[in-house]
Amino acid sequence: MATDIAAGRVARVRQRATRLTARDRVAVCVMVGIPLVFVVGLVWLPTLASVYLSFTSWDGIGGLDTINWVGTTNYDQIFSIYPPFWPALRHNLIWLAFLAVLPTTFGLLLAYLLDKNIRGTRAYQSVFFLPVVLSLAVVGFIWQLVYAPEQGLINNLLGRTEQGDVINWLGNPDLNLWAVLVAAAWRHAGYIMILYLAGLKSVDPALREAAAIDGASEWYAFRTVVFPALRPINIVVLVVTVIEALRAFDIVFIINKGRNGLELLSVLVYDNIVGEASRIGYGSALAVVLLVISLIPIVTYVAHAFGRES
């Protein structure tokens, strides 16, 4: 049988004619095009615009021609003379560390315990998961009732409701961040629990059985067999935790609009852009700082998701 189609013969190259008819091509363009317009127009272009604006100064009121380029002035000012910046950054990092350590491990613990399929697993799962479906604003409300100085649950249980004796959970800048973090953790743990429950289900039971037969104690088996098998979920959990920590806005805003110990980068952005005396460039620079920090989990997640793909 002839095998040579190489040099000398003109190979007639067929287009993808058999693949898509003209009608199909139009359909594909529309199916991808319209969503693309939304996502690029309302998400990516604004992001790029923000980056650009961070190098400008603008009050937002005048037209586009009143924007003037100031280079890195905004960034310099943020890092040196803007009082709430460093506290806000610190608070965001504390938020991240807190979430990563406490509710995440607690969620893992809950997932591990509930994975044993004891009676009432369903009910327990629902209880811990409940805060996740609540709006963060509602969460803020609920915890305000818990933390209220004179009528709140905690103070009344502790008996500290007299005027001079109250613990001002939300008003005291030394305490309020931690108080709010408890509320955030309350919600975060349930989310993490669900992710780990799914992850545990996908761990091959044969692995655990083999470990048991080999004589491993439960903790040892967990440490050496189960936890390593959870690696893909761990990455997701990490990304989710970081994203949540950076996004934190709603709770804090509801409680006291992010002042007095509850400064966060997200709130600072809001402060600078909404209202009459807006400092757009400044706010954008703050947003870009947030963006740069977020790129770490985003890139991690994308690499993880697509690394496995190929």
Residues 167-186 that bind other proteins (CB under 8 A): 186
Closest CA to 262 of 138, 179, 194, 192: 179
Residue 171 phi, psi (nearest 5):
-95, -25
Query: Which C-beta is closer to other proteins: that of 197 or that of 226?
Result: 197
Select from 97, 101, 210, 274 the one that contacts other proteins (CB under 8 A). 274
Query: Which C-beta is closer to other proteins: that of 211 or that of 265?
Result: 265
Closest CA to 97 of 310, 220, 201, 241: 241
Kindly give, in sequence order, each residue whose CB lies less than 8 Å from that of residue 249, ignoring residues fewer than 6 positions away.
Answer: 136, 258, 264, 266, 267, 270
Instruction: Determine if 5 is a binding residue for other proteins (CB under 8 A).
Output: yes
Instruction: From 81-89, 116-124, 168-176, 207-215, give the range in contact with other proteins by CB under 8 A.
Output: 116-124
Instruction: Determine if 308 is a binding residue for other proteins (CB under 8 A).
Output: yes
Query: Which C-beta is closer to other proteins: that of 101 or that of 127?
Result: 127
Query: Which C-beta is closer to other proteins: that of 228 or that of 232?
Result: 232
Instruction: Determine if 111 is a binding residue for other proteins (CB under 8 A).
Output: no
Q: Output the smallest distance, CB 76 to other proteins, in A.
A: 19
Instruction: From 26-34, 69-77, 95-103, 169-177, give the range in contact with other proteins by CB under 8 A.
Output: 26-34
| Site for other proteins, residues 67 to 106, rule: CB under 8 A | none
* Token pair listed for 102: 């406490």
Select from 97, 153, 210, 212 the one that contacts other proteins (CB under 8 A). 153
- HEC string for 215-233: CCCHHHHHHHHHHHHCHHH
Kindly give, in sequence order, each residue whose CB lies less than 8 Å from that of residue 151, ignoring residues fewer than 6 positions away.
Answer: 145, 161
Query: How many residues lie near other proteins (CB under 8 A)?
Result: 116
* Token pair listed for 110: 């809950």
Residue 236 CA to residue 225 CA, distance in Å, equals 19
| Site for other proteins, residues 34 to 63, rule: CB under 8 A | 34-36, 38-47, 49-50, 53, 60
Q: Residue 239, Cβ neighbours under 10 Å: how many? A: 19
* Token pair listed for 82: 């803007």
Instruction: Determine if 1 is a binding residue for other proteins (CB under 8 A).
Output: yes
* Token pair listed for 280: 């757009």
**3-class DSSP state of 302:** helix
Instruction: From 16-24, 75-83, 162-170, 209-217, give the range in contact with other proteins by CB under 8 A.
Output: 16-24
Instruction: Determine if 13 is a binding residue for other proteins (CB under 8 A).
Output: yes
Instruction: From 74-82, 172-180, 206-214, 301-309, give the range in contact with other proteins by CB under 8 A.
Output: 301-309
Contact at 8 Å (CB) between 263 and 177? no
Q: Output the smallest distance, CB 206 to other proteins, in A.
A: 19
- Which residue type occupies 63? G
Select from 97, 210, 212, 302 the one that contacts other proteins (CB under 8 A). 302
